[in-house]
Chain A
Amino acid sequence: MSAADRVYPPSPTLDAVTAFVNRECRLLDERRFDDWRDLFTEDGAYWAPTRHDQKSPEEAVSLFYDDRVTMAARIRRLKHPDVHVQVPESRTVHLVSNIEAEAVPGEPAGVRAYAAFVMAEYRHTEPRWYAGRYEYSLRRSEDGFRIALKKVTLVNCNAPFTSIGVYL
C-alpha cells in the first residue's frame, strides 16, 4: 500500500479527526487543561522540538517534552496564583487548517493526522504569533480518539524565544 493509498479522502474518519483536533485546540484556548490532558493516552506525550528534522526528545533539546506526569506538574502550576509568567494569563486563539489523516500500517486503531496551525497569544503587552505544523499519533478507543503523541514543530523552532507560558 503506498502512502497515497493510505490517505483518507473526505470521509467519516477525516471528519472525526478534524472535529477532534478542533476540540483539542479549543480546550487549550479555554484553558481547560485537565480536560485537555485527558485526551492523551496513559503513555501519551506532547512534544515541541528545536530542530525541524528532530527524531526524538533525546537527540536534541526540546521546547516542550511533557509526558502525562510532567503535564500534571505543568497544569498544576498553571493554576497556581503565583505562576508569574501567567500573571496576567495568556489569551490564545488557535487556527488549525490543512488537516489530513492517514492509516498507520499494522496498527488498526492508529491514525496519523497532520495539520497546520497559527496561534495568536495576547498577554499584557503585545500580541505574539506562533505558526507551525502539528503531527498527531491518534488511537481510536470506544469513546473517540486519544493522543499518543502531539508533535508541534514551529516554523522557527530553532529560534530563540521569549517565555512561552502555555501549550502551543
Chain B
Amino acid sequence: MDGLMPPPARPRPAFTDEELRTLVRPDRVHRSLYTDPGIFDLEMERLFGRAWIFVGHASQVPNPHDYITTRIGREPVIMTRDAKGAIHVLSNRCAHRGVSVCATDSGNTRHFKCPYHGWTYRSDGTLASLPQRRSYPHDRAEIESWMSLARAARVDEYRGFVFASLTEEGPDLETYLNGIRHSIDDLVDRAPDGEVAFVGGCSRYIIRANWKLQIDNGVDLHHATYTHVSTLDDDGRQFSRHGGGPRIMVDGKKSIDWEPFGVVGFPYGHGYQGRPPVETLPSGPVYEEYVRRLEARHGVDRTRQILNYDRFNSVIWPSMTFQAFGQHIRVVRPISVDRTEINVFPVALKGAPEAYNTGAIRSLAATHSAASMIQTDDIEVFERAQAGLQSGAHDWVLFAGHPGSEEPWHEGGWRGQGTSEFVSRIQYAENWISFLCGGNGNERG
C-alpha cells in the first residue's frame, strides 16, 4: 500500500541546505522564517511531512467506524476506528482521481464512498468496491496496493493522544515526546478514571500570521505583563476560571518576577512554562467532590501529587499546545505562511463531577475563543508581528534572553529562568534547522 508521502515542495526548493543554515543562529532566526512562502513550503514538506504531528484524541472516535477529518500540514486526513477497534490515519483522497472521500468534520460510517465514480473504501482504508472492476485488468494484489486510501507511514498514541508521522524514518513516538509526556500525564492523571475525553466541541480561531508565532508564545511567560495588561482587575490580578489569577501589576507597575517560575525545555523542541503565581486555587462543593473522587481512587498523598500545579502551558513541538490545569488543548494548523488556524478542544476528566468538566467548557469562551478576553490579545500581537516582520529594517527575530543559564532538569531536558528564551532556541537551532535540511530533529548544535 502506498505511504502517505509528503508532497514535493512547490515551487522547487527556494533554499539550499547551506542557505537555510544561514537563516538560523543559536540565539536568533531570520525574519524570512515567518514571511517567506518558499520556507513555508519546505516546512510543510520536511517538518510537518516528517515529524510526529498531533492528529486527534482516541475519544473523538470511540466506536467502530467513527471518524474525524483533519490535516497533517497540507495533507487532508481522516482518523478512523475500524471494525476491530484499531485507529487509522488515512489520506482523505480517492486513489482514483483525487476527490476527497469525506466532507464532514466527524461521524460514523462503514464506508467512504467517492462521490465521483463510486470507489468505496472501508474504515480501515482498504478498497471495498470498485465500479467497472473489469476495466482494470490488474490482479487483486496490485489493485489493493494502489487503489486503497493512502495512510500515514506511522501512527502511535500516548494515553489516547494520537500522533502520526508521514515518514518511516526518525525516532519513535516515545523517543520523540521524551520528557513532555509528563505534561500529558499531568493532564490525564487529573481524571479520577485515568482517562480524558474530547467532548464539548471545538473553538476555532484564525491568526493572520505565521504558525510559529503561536508556538513561540506557548513557552513565553513574560509577555503576560504587557500583552494581557488590559485583563487585570483593580488588584492587578488576571481573572481566571478559579478566581484570583496571578498578581501582575501593583499601582500600574509591573509587580511580578517571572524568573522563579521557570521554563522547561526538552529535546525535539517541546517545553512548558512553570506555574504562574496563582494564589487562589479552586474551591467550592464541586471541586471538593472532584477531590474526593480522586482520593477514593488514589488516596490522599497521590491525589495531592496529582493536583500539584507546577506547570501552565505545555508545547508539543510543532503541532500542539495545552494546559492541564485549564483542561484544554490547542492544535496548530498552518494554512499558509501568514495564516494559521487554531483548534481549541476542551478536555473532560472522566470520573470528575459533570459540573467540573462543563465549567472548563464554559470558561473557554472567556479565555481562548476568537472573542475571548485573553486570546484576542495574543492574536493581535501575532498579527502585528507578521506586519512588523515585513520590514527589512532588521533581519533577525531574537531569542537571546538568558543565554546558557539553563540547568539539567529531573524530567530530562533543562530548566531555565522564567523569562529564558532557551526553549525557542532548542526549537529553531536544534530542530527546525534539522528537519528543514532533511534530518529528523534533535541536532545538538
Q: How far is the CB of B338 from chain A (nearest CB, A)?
A: 12
CB-CB under 8 A from A109, the residues of chain B are: none
Question: Would you call A163 and B370 a contact (CB within 8 A)?
Answer: yes
Q: Count chain A residues whose beta carbon lies closer than 8 angstroms to a beta carbon of B.
A: 31
Complex partner residue of A85 from B208, B229, B342, B380, CB under 8 angstroms: B380
A151-168 interface code vs B (CB 8 A; 1 in, 0 out) = 000000011111111000
Question: Would you call B205 and A160 a contact (CB within 8 A)?
Answer: yes
Q: Which of A18-26, A31-39, A61-69 contacts B (4 or more CB under 8 A)?
A: A61-69
8 shortest interchain CB distances as A-B pairs? A60-B201, A160-B204, A58-B358, A80-B230, A161-B370, A164-B371, A83-B230, A61-B203
Complex partner residue of A61 from B201, B208, B377, CB under 8 angstroms: B201
A-facing residues in B202-240 (Cβ within 8 Å):
202-208, 226-227, 229-231, 233, 239
Listed by A's residue number, 18 A-B pairs whose Cβ atoms lie within 8 Å are: A48-B371, A60-B361, A62-B362, A62-B364, A62-B365, A73-B366, A76-B233, A77-B230, A82-B230, A84-B227, A84-B230, A160-B206, A160-B342, A161-B370, A162-B206, A162-B379, A164-B371, A165-B376
Question: Would you call B381 and A84 a contact (CB within 8 A)?
Answer: yes
Complex partner residue of A84 from B207, B346, B377, CB under 8 angstroms: B377
Complex partner residue of B204 from A62, A74, A83, A159, CB under 8 angstroms: A159
Q: How far is the CB of B434 from chain A (nearest CB, A)?
A: 31
Question: Would you call B365 and A163 a contact (CB within 8 A)?
Answer: no
Q: How far is the CB of A153 from chain B (nearest CB, A)?
A: 14
Q: How far is the CB of A152 from chain B (nearest CB, A)?
A: 10
CA distance A154 to B379 in the complex (A): 21
**Looking across the interface, which residue of chain A has its beta carbon closest to that of B375?**
A163
Does A43 lie at the interface of the complex (its beta carbon under 8 Å from any beta carbon of B)?
no
Q: How far is the CB of A127 from chain B (nearest CB, A)?
A: 15
Complex partner residue of B201 from A51, A77, A84, CB under 8 angstroms: A51
Does B200 lie at the interface of the complex (its beta carbon under 8 Å from any beta carbon of A)?
yes
**Looking across the interface, which residue of chain A has its beta carbon closest to that of B363?**
A65
Does B319 lie at the interface of the complex (its beta carbon under 8 Å from any beta carbon of A)?
no
A77-B373, A163-B380 provided; 18 other pairs, C-beta below 8 A? A48-B371, A50-B201, A50-B369, A58-B358, A61-B202, A61-B361, A61-B364, A62-B362, A63-B365, A66-B366, A73-B231, A77-B230, A80-B230, A160-B205, A160-B342, A160-B370, A161-B206, A162-B206
CA distance A79 to B363 in the complex (A): 22
Q: How far is the CB of B211 from chain A (nearest CB, A)?
A: 14
A-facing residues in B364-390 (Cβ within 8 Å):
364-366, 369-371, 373, 375-377, 379-381, 384
**Looking across the interface, which residue of chain A has its beta carbon closest to that of B227?**
A84
**Looking across the interface, which residue of chain A has its beta carbon closest to that of B234?**
A76
**Looking across the interface, which residue of chain A has its beta carbon closest to that of B357?**
A58
Q: How far is the CB of A9 from chain B (nearest CB, A)?
A: 36
CB-CB under 8 A from B379, the residues of chain A are: 85, 162-163
CB-CB under 8 A from A105, the residues of chain B are: none
Does A144 lie at the interface of the complex (its beta carbon under 8 Å from any beta carbon of B)?
no
B-facing residues in A56-105 (Cβ within 8 Å):
57-66, 70, 73-74, 76-77, 80, 82-85
Q: How far is the CB of A87 from chain B (nearest CB, A)?
A: 8
CA distance A70 to B239 in the complex (A): 9
Complex partner residue of A73 from B206, B361, B370, B373, CB under 8 angstroms: B373
CB-CB under 8 A from A61, the residues of chain B are: 200-203, 344, 346, 361, 364-365, 369
CB-CB under 8 A from B421, the residues of chain A are: none
Question: Would you call A164 and B376 a contact (CB within 8 A)?
Answer: yes
CB-CB under 8 A from B202, the residues of chain A are: 50, 61
CB-CB under 8 A from A74, the residues of chain B are: 373
CA distance A163 to B368 in the complex (A): 11
Does B341 lie at the interface of the complex (its beta carbon under 8 Å from any beta carbon of A)?
yes
Question: Would you call A57 and B365 a contact (CB within 8 A)?
Answer: yes
CA distance A70 to B230 in the complex (A): 14
Q: How far is the CB of A69 from chain B (nearest CB, A)?
A: 9
CB-CB under 8 A from A73, the residues of chain B are: 231, 233, 239, 366, 373
**Looking across the interface, which residue of chain B has its beta carbon closest to that of A81?**
B230
Q: How far is the CB of A54 from chain B (nearest CB, A)?
A: 8
**Looking across the interface, which residue of chain B has its beta carbon closest to that of A77?**
B230
Max chain B Cβ within 10 angstroms of own Cβ: one of A82, A83, A160: A160
Max chain B Cβ within 10 angstroms of own Cβ: one of A57, A73, A162: A162
Max chain B Cβ within 10 angstroms of own Cβ: one of A51, A61, A62, A160: A61
**Looking across the interface, which residue of chain A has its beta carbon closest to that of B207?**
A162
CB-CB under 8 A from A48, the residues of chain B are: 371
B185-202 interface code vs A (CB 8 A; 1 in, 0 out) = 000000000000000111
Q: How far is the CB of B60 from chain A (nearest CB, A)?
A: 14
Question: Would you call A65 and B366 a contact (CB within 8 A)?
Answer: yes
**Looking across the interface, which residue of chain B has its beta carbon closest to that of A160?**
B204
CB-CB under 8 A from A57, the residues of chain B are: 361-362, 365
**Looking across the interface, which residue of chain A has its beta carbon closest to that of B342?**
A160
CA distance A17 to B370 in the complex (A): 30
Question: Would you call B370 and A164 a contact (CB within 8 A)?
Answer: yes
CB-CB under 8 A from B208, the residues of chain A are: 162
CA distance A146 to B221 in the complex (A): 42
CB-CB under 8 A from A83, the residues of chain B are: 230, 377
Question: Would you call B371 and A63 a contact (CB within 8 A)?
Answer: yes
